Structure 1
Amino acid sequence: MARYGILTAGGDCPGLNAVIRGIVLDGQTEHGDEYVGYLDGYKGLVYGNVMELDRSTVRGISKEGGTVLGTSRHGPYKEPNGPDTIKKSMRHLGVDGVIAIGGDGTMAAANRLYEDGIPIIGVPKTIDNDLEATDYTFGFNTAVEIATEAADRLRTTGNSHKRCMVLEVMGRHAGWIALYAGMAAGAHAILIPEQPESLEQICAWVQSVTDRGRAPMVVVAEGFTFPDMDEAYSDKGLDEFGRPRLGGIGEILAPLIQEKTGIETRATVLGYIQRGGVPSAFDRVLGTRLGFAVPDLINDGGWGQMLALRGNDIVRVPFSEAAGKTKNVPLDMYEEARRVFG
C-alpha cells in the first residue's frame, strides 16, 4: 500500500477542496492508497507538518472555498539543503510521493524538486487562468462569476447617479478575468495588461457612452498599464517572491477620467473577494475530475508531470511545458471585444 502527500501552495482558490476530495476518494477506492495533507503548502513539506486524509476527513468539502490544508507562499528552497530535508521528512512519514496543487510558482518549484530527485506531480490552480499548458484552471470560473456580479451591481448604482464606474479585478500579467467579466457584464471598456490603452482613448469611450445617456462601466485588470508606463502600478511593496504587490490602478484611473471628461467617476477594487467563497459548479466538477486523474497518473509512474484540461479531456504534460510560461489573452480575442467599446 502506497502513501502520498498532498499540498496546496500559493494563493488560495475556489475548487482546491474538490481536488483534495477527488484524490482521496479515487485513490483509496480504486488503488488502496493512503494520503496525508501537508499543512500550509511547501512549508509543511519542508518541516513535515501533516494531517491524515481519508474519506471521513474529506466528506462534504468540495463545496467549501479555500483549502482545508492551509496554504502559504513559503518556497521549498528557502531553507538550506531543502531537498535533502524534504527527502528525510518523507522517509520519516512513510510518504512515497508528493502531489502539489498550485499555480505557476508552485509548478516551477515542483519541477525543480523533481529534478532534485523528489517524486512529485502537479495539479494546476489559479483564478487568473494564465497557465500556458491548460485551457482552463479551476477557480477562474468562480472569480469571473464574482466579478460579473460586482460589475452588474455597480452598473445599477452608476445608472442611478449617472456616474462612470470603474471596477478593478485581478490579473497581474493576463487579463482573462477582466475580459470575461467585462464581456459578460456588457462593460463599455475593458483594460487588460496585454494591451495598453491611452487615457485619451479611454475617455473617448466613456464620453461616447455618456453622450448616449448611459452610465459608463469600465473593467480594468490590476496589471493594466498606460502606454507610457514601464510597469504595472504598485504602491504596496513587494510580495514573498520579490514581485510588486499590484492593486490600485482603478483608483488612479477614476480621478483621471473625471478630471479629463468632467463625468463623476468612482472606482471599486474587488481584490480578494474574487478568491473567496464557495466554488461554482464548473469549478467543483473540474477540480473533482483533476483529483480523480491523480491516482492514475501516480500509479502509471508519471512523476514530473502535471495534469491539464485540453478541450474536455484531462491530459498529462511535463512540468517543463507549464512552468514559467504565461498564457496571455490573444490580441485578436481582445480586438473582438474592443470593436464595441464606448
Structure 2
Amino acid sequence: MGRHCGWIAVTAGIAGGADIILAPESPFDIERIAKKIKHRHRYKNFSIVAVAEGAVPVEGSSWDANDTLDAKGNPIAGQVGAQVTRAIERLTGFEARLTTLGYVQRGGVPTAADRLLATRFGIAAIDAAVEGNFGTFTALRGEKVEMLPFSDMAGKTKYVPDELLQAAWGL
C-alpha cells in the first residue's frame, strides 16, 4: 500500500490533482518542497501533497528518517505523512492539514471502467478454473485480459517507472 513503491500515491495524486507527490522510488528534499509550496502560494492559497507511506528523504537532509521507521527499518504507516505535514508548517509558516486515507481509499464507489474490468477478470478467472488452469492470475495487457502464472509476480515488486515519477513531480 505504498511501503516499498508509490503506485497508489502517484496514480491517485495525478488523478486527484496533487501538486506534489512523494513516493519511495524518489527520495524527497523537504526544503525543496517547502520552496515549491511558497512559490505556489503566490497565486494559489493551497497545495495538495500526496505522500506514500514509504516516502523517504534524500540522504544528508536535515530530516530524521528514523522517526518514521519501525525496529526492522520498515516505514510506520502514517508517520511520514504526519512528519511532512509538520515540516511544511514549520518551513513555510502556512497551516497544513493531514488526511490519512486508510479505509477511505478502499471504500469509493466503483466507476463504470472498474465494474467492466472486474467483470472481465471474473469471467477469465472462472474460465481458467473450468479449464483446470490453476496457479494463475488475471492481468490486463493492453486491451486483452490474460491468465499469467503466479511466478510472474510472486515475490517481486513493480516500481513506479521514472517517467511517471517525473511527470508527477512536474505537475
CA shift, 1:277, in A, is 4.6
Q: Deviations over 1:275-296 (max 9, x none)?
A: 1254332222211111111232
Aligned twin of 2:161: 330
CA shift, 1:231, in A, is 7.6
Aligned twin of 2:123: 292
Aligned counterparts, 1:1-342, within 5 A:
170-228=1-59, 233-234=68-69, 245-340=76-171
Q: Name the SS of the counterpart of 2:99 in structure 1.
A: strand
CA shift, 1:234, in A, is 4.6
Q: Which runs of 5+ in 2 are unaligned?
A: none
CA shift, 1:315, in A, is 0.6
Q: Which runs of 5+ in 1 are unaligned?
A: 1-169
- Return closer, same or farther for 1:175/1:262 CA change in 2, 3 Å cut-off: same
Where in structure 1 do 4 or more consecutive aligned residues deviate above 6 Å? 229-232
Q: Name the SS of the counterpart of 1:256 in structure 2.
A: helix
Give TM-score scaled by structure 2 length: 0.83
- Return closer, same or farther for 1:333/1:232 CA change in 2, 3 Å cut-off: farther
Asked if 2 retains the 8 angstrom alpha-carbon contact of 1:188 and 1:209, the reply is no
- Return closer, same or farther for 1:282/1:256 CA change in 2, 3 Å cut-off: same
Q: Name the SS of the counterpart of 2:94 in structure 1.
A: coil
Q: Which has the higher strand share?
A: 1
Asked if 1 retains the 8 angstrom alpha-carbon contact of 2:53 and 2:75, the reply is no
Q: Name the SS of the counterpart of 2:157 in structure 1.
A: coil
What is the CA–CA distance in structure 1 between the aligned matches of 2:105 and 2:46, rounded to whole Å? 24
What is the CA–CA distance in structure 2 between the aligned matches of 1:331 and 1:287, rounded to whole Å? 28
CA shift, 1:311, in A, is 1.2
- Return closer, same or farther for 1:206/1:234 CA change in 2, 3 Å cut-off: same
What is the CA–CA distance in structure 2 between the aligned matches of 1:233 and 1:203, rounded to whole Å? 19
Asked if 2 retains the 8 angstrom alpha-carbon contact of 1:178 and 1:220, the reply is yes
